[in-house]
């Protein structure tokens, strides 16, 4: 080392029984510590979840629900894509700075609710009121209602919020930790899903002023295209990497149809199979 040679010259010199080289090393150590302290930005101990951050009482989750029929007992999933891409996406872009979190929820079943696509967003009552009005006034929404593609649009009243915390729209059967953190995960999933719709839609091309029937055919084709991507790439791109984040630990889930607990052991290089 370059600094080692001058130290050798002072090995025999002592100041009150303390070797000069020790004093020199101590001085260098103090100088380096002070220099590092001035140049390195401390890393925060942890991120503060939105659920713990103080917020106005009128802030929370709001819903816009689009209810649709199921002709011939078949769900027309392309309608969800059309609403997400042509109705919800412009709202997100217009109010992104005021919306803390957002996500989509899709469901279809043979019950009273039937086929429903929901847009959920965490913001103030004032912004929620503006978004509600934009949905009601949207020309495409009016066309879909008039043609029976959408049966009903339901918006939350903004005079009171029943979901003021981030975890309030998560499954109540989950642990508090899962309830409060899952919305961050599903927002990322929703953003990815919407981005896939947008990218595939642009690749295929469709006129902005296209008739409603043409739009539905277009988004049916978009749905087929990225369903293929999901089937071919979803396991590795999504499930495998999610598995890796949690250390490839066995996943325990309850299969209600069989009424038995199942251990899922993902394939890990070098790990022996478990019987």
Q: Minimal CA–CA distance to 122: which of 173, 66, 180?
A: 180
Is 90 exceeded by the pLDDT of residue 17?
no
| pTM (predicted TM-score) | 0.75
Whether residue 42 has pLDDT greater than 60: no
What's the CA gap between 171 and 160, in Å, rounded?
Answer: 21
Listed residue (167, 142, 34, 126) closest to 86, CA to CA: 142
**pLDDT-based confidence at 266, cuts 50/70/90?**
low
Q: What number of other Cβ atoms are within 10 A of residue 30's Cβ?
A: 10
Q: What is the mean pLDDT of residues 117-133?
A: 97
Mean pLDDT within 87-115: 96
Do residues 64 and 155 lie in contact, with contact meaning Cβ atoms separated by under 8 Å?
yes
Token pair recorded at residue 77: 């999933």
Query: Would you say residue 273 has pLDDT above 60?
Result: no
pLDDT mean across residues, the chain: 81
**Position 274 pLDDT exceeds 80:** no
Residues 108, 85, 238, 220, Cα dihedral to 10°: 60
pLDDT in tens, 69-94: 998 889 999 999 999 999 999 999 99
Please tell me the distance from the alpha carbon of residue 63 to that of residue 121, in angstroms, as a whole number: 7
d(CA 167, CA 47): 16
């Amino acid at each position: 080392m370059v600094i080692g040679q001058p130290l050798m010259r002072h090995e025999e010199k002592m100041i009150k029984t303390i070797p000069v080289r020790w004093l020199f090393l101590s001085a260098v150590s103090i100088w380096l510590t002070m220099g590092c302290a001035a140049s390195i930005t401390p890393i925060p101990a942890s991120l503060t979840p939105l659920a713990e951050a103080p917020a106005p009482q009128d802030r929370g989750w709001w819903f816009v629900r689009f209810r649709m029929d199921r002709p011939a007992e078949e769900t027309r999933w392309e309608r969800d894509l059309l609403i997400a891409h042509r109705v919800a996406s412009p709202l997100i872009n217009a109010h992104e700075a005021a919306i803390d979190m957002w996500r989509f929820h899709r469901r279809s079943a043979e019950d009273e609710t039937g086929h429903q696509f929901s847009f959920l967003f965490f913001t103030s009552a004032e912004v929620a009121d503006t978004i509600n009005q934009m949905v009601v006034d949207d020309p495409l929404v009016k066309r879909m209602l008039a043609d029976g593609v959408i049966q009903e649009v339901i918006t939350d009243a903004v005079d009171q919020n029943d979901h003021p915390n981030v975890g309030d729209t998560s499954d109540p059967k989950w642990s508090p930790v899962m309830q409060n953190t899952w919305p961050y995960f599903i927002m990322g999933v929703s953003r990815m899903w919407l981005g896939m719709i947008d990218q595939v839609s642009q690749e295929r091309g469709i006129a902005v002023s296209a008739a409603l029937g043409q739009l539905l055919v277009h988004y049916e084709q978009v749905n087929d295209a990225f369903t293929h991507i999901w089937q071919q790439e979803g396991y590795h791109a999504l499930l495998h990497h999610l598995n890796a984040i949690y250390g490839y630990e066995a996943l325990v889930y309850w299969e209600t149809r069989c009424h038995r607990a199942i251990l899922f052991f993902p394939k890990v290089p070098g790990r022996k199979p478990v019987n």
